[in-house]
């Protein structure tokens, strides 16, 4: 019954693991290729999979991938994705790129990442893979989707229903908090247990590379330039993300939750809550939970997502579903890890 062969490039990382976990339960996708910068045994990277699934991680040769897979997930560092994506697209393989390489327009990309973009042709046609923003149809017809960053996903989903109600001449304030898995598997000072545990701090406030992504996408949605003041924080937890979004209102808003509910009426994976959202209620799932409250002319909207799922792997599978003609929600994880 599994008919669509897919590749996961970057299988040894956290996002690679999450992709594999979803794909193992997917009724229509089957894993046809696991790629990495070096070959190796999947179980060495992910010992939890012992007895569940065993496979080799292979060197990411594009011809081999194209031989075996109809669609590839790229979970590789930014700046490394363009070369692989271009080669795969040339060989007729659809691509969901989880790196930052196709998220921004050329000018914003080059300013944020300090390099020339390596694949301008495909950048023109890449679709930003946030269905709530661009529509499912746009993704369904795409050959290349740029999976959104985790902070932008959480923030845009919070802000989007309220753009028509907001005075966008005032900057949107985003105070966001992420678990450590968002920083990847590599050991650096910022991921050392002792530096994270019993601690909390902002990193790269204002200048974080997700700020231009939020700004570009919200400006485009609102069709007017929007400023964003963005302060990302590291939380002493493994997975999950909260984004507090503060918008200046144009006029009093009676029932912001009703606005959000109406906006997301067709989106079962957005839950608008009457009480504060909690990371624990979404960790392990594709859900984005929202909570909103208005005070003193300011709208406070808070979103909670799992940074590795809705902020990466399950969002990628949702895009792949659409690109392959499957229902968007196919195999997206819905049962949280709570307690």
Active site residues: 150
Taking the C-alpha atoms of residue 114 and residue 187, their distance in angstroms, rounded to an integer, is: 24
Residues 162-201, interacting with a second copy (CB under 8 A): 170-171, 173, 175, 177, 180-181, 185, 187-189, 191-201
CB of 37 to a second copy, least distance (A): 17
Question: From the list 56, 111, 120, 206, which residue makes contact with a second copy (rule: CB under 8 A)?
Answer: 206
Closest to a second copy by CB, 1 vs 193, is 193
Q: Measure the CA dihedral 201/206/210/214, to 10°.
A: 120
50 sits near a second copy (criterion: CB under 8 A)? yes
CB-count exposure of residue 17 (10 Å: 0-12, 13-18, 19+): buried
Residues 299, 162 contacting (CB under 8 angstroms): yes
Taking the C-alpha atoms of residue 241 and residue 151, their distance in angstroms, rounded to an integer, is: 8
Residues 55-94, interacting with a second copy (CB under 8 A): none
Dihedral sign, Cα of residue 309, residue 311, residue 313, residue 317: positive
Taking the C-alpha atoms of residue 84 and residue 79, their distance in angstroms, rounded to an integer, is: 10
Closest to a second copy by CB, 37 vs 91, is 37
Question: From the list 5, 231, 261, 324, which residue makes contact with a second copy (rule: CB under 8 A)?
Answer: 231
CB of 297 to a second copy, least distance (A): 7
Supply 203's token pair: 């990193």
Contacts of 201 (CB under 8 A, 6+ apart): 233, 234
244 sits near a second copy (criterion: CB under 8 A)? yes
Contacts of 185 (CB under 8 A, 6+ apart): 12, 13, 14
Residues 232, 244 contacting (CB under 8 angstroms): no
Closest CA to 168 of 225, 251, 229, 210: 225
CB of 228 to a second copy, least distance (A): 8
327 sits near a second copy (criterion: CB under 8 A)? no
265 sits near a second copy (criterion: CB under 8 A)? no
Dihedral sign, Cα of residue 322, residue 319, residue 292, residue 18: positive
30 sits near a second copy (criterion: CB under 8 A)? no
302 sits near a second copy (criterion: CB under 8 A)? yes
CB-count exposure of residue 125 (10 Å: 0-12, 13-18, 19+): exposed
8 sits near a second copy (criterion: CB under 8 A)? no
Closest to a second copy by CB, 82 vs 243, is 243
203 sits near a second copy (criterion: CB under 8 A)? yes
| Cis amide leading into 220 (omega within 30) | no
330 sits near a second copy (criterion: CB under 8 A)? no
Per-position x/- string for 277-296, each x denoting binding to a second copy as judged by CB under 8 A, each - no binding: xxxxxxxxx-x---x-x-xx
Residues 103-162, interacting with a second copy (CB under 8 A): none
The kind and range of the H/E element at 2 are: none
Residues in binding contact with a second copy, number by CB under 8 A: 85
Closest to a second copy by CB, 197 vs 223, is 197
Closest to a second copy by CB, 83 vs 202, is 202
268 sits near a second copy (criterion: CB under 8 A)? yes
CB of 91 to a second copy, least distance (A): 31
CB of 329 to a second copy, least distance (A): 11
Taking the C-alpha atoms of residue 89 and residue 145, their distance in angstroms, rounded to an integer, is: 11
CB of 63 to a second copy, least distance (A): 31
């Amino acid at each position: 019954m599994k008919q669509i062969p897919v590749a996961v490039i970057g299988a040894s990382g956290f996002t690679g693991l999450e992709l594999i976990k979803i794909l193992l339960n997917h009724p229509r996708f089957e894993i046809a290729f696991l790629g990495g910068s070096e070959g190796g045994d999947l179980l060495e990277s992910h010992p939890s999979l012992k007895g569940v699934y065993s496979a080799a991680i292979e060197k990411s040769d594009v011809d081999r991938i194209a031989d075996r897979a109809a669609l590839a997930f790229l979970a590789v560092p930014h700046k490394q994705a363009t070369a692989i994506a271009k080669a795969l697209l040339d060989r007729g393989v659809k691509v969901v790129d989880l790196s930052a390489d196709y998220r921004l327009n050329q000018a914003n990309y080059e300013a944020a990442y300090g390099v020339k973009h390596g694949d301008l042709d495909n950048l023109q046609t890449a679709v930003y893979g946030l269905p709530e923003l661009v529509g499912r149809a746009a993704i369904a017809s795409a050959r290349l989707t740029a999976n959104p960053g985790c902070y932008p996903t959480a923030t845009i989903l919070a802000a989007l229903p309220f753009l028509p109600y907001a005075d966008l001449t005032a900057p949107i304030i985003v105070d966001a908090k992420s678990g450590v898995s968002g920083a990847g598997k590599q050991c650096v000072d910022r991921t050392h247990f002792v530096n994270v545990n019993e601690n909390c701090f902002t990193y790269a406030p204002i200048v974080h590379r997700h700020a231009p992504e939020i700004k570009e996408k919200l400006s485009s949605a609102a069709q007017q330039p929007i400023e964003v003041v963005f302060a990302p924080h590291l939380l002493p937890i493994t997975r999950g993300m909260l984004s507090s979004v503060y918008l200046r209102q144009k006029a009093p808003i009676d029932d912001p939750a009703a606005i959000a509910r109406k906006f997301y009426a067709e989106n079962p994976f957005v839950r608008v809550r009457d009480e504060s959202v909690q990371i624990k209620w979404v960790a392990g799932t594709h859900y984005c939970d929202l909570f909103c409250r208005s005070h003193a002319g300011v709208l406070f909207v808070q979103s909670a997502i799992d940074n590795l799922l809705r902020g990466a792997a399950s969002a990628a599978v949702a895009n792949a579903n659409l690109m392959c003609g499957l229902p968007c929600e196919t195999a997206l994880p819905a049962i949280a890890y709570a307690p």
